[in-house]
Amino acid sequence: MFNIDGRFYALTNACVHQGARVCLGKVSGTALPSRVYEFKYGHEGRILRCPWHGWEYDVTTGESLFDPATRVVTYPVIVRDGAVYVAVEERIRP
């Protein structure tokens, strides 16, 4: 669970690469697209780096930075009457 500027985000605690607990990773920013010899840094506080091999995810979407089709599972978060709820869907096994 992350709080970015007062908005909450819930991600599953497993990296899609090899299953590391991403909650043990660091939250930072990342290098943004820029011209040659230019370095732009942004998204501070929004990028979660897996502690095992460094895959990076955007906390607000769950998407990996290198391939948006690769993503950790995210859950809707509801704030009501000062309490934070995560909507986790129950799955029925066949």
Determine the Cα–Cα distance for residues 59 and 48; give it in Å rounded to an integer: 6
Scanning 11-19, 30-38, 40-48, 75-83 for contacts with ligand FES by CB under 6 A, the matching segment is 11-19
Instruction: Determine the interface stretch with ligand FES among 10-18, 29-37, 66-74, 75-83 (rule: CB under 6 A).
Output: 10-18
Q: Which of residues 35-74 bind ligand FES (CB under 6 A)?
A: 50, 52-55
21 near ligand FES (CB under 6 A): no
* Closer residue to ligand FES, CB minimum distance, 20 or 77: 20
Q: Does 13 bind ligand FES (CB under 6 A)?
A: no
Q: Least CB distance from residue 58 to ligand FES, whole Å? A: 15
Per residue, what are the HEC states of the chain?
CEEECCEEEEECCCCCCCCCCHHHCEEEEEEECCCCCCCEEEEEEEEEECCCCCCEEECCCCEECCCCCCECCEECEEEECCEEEECCCCCCCC
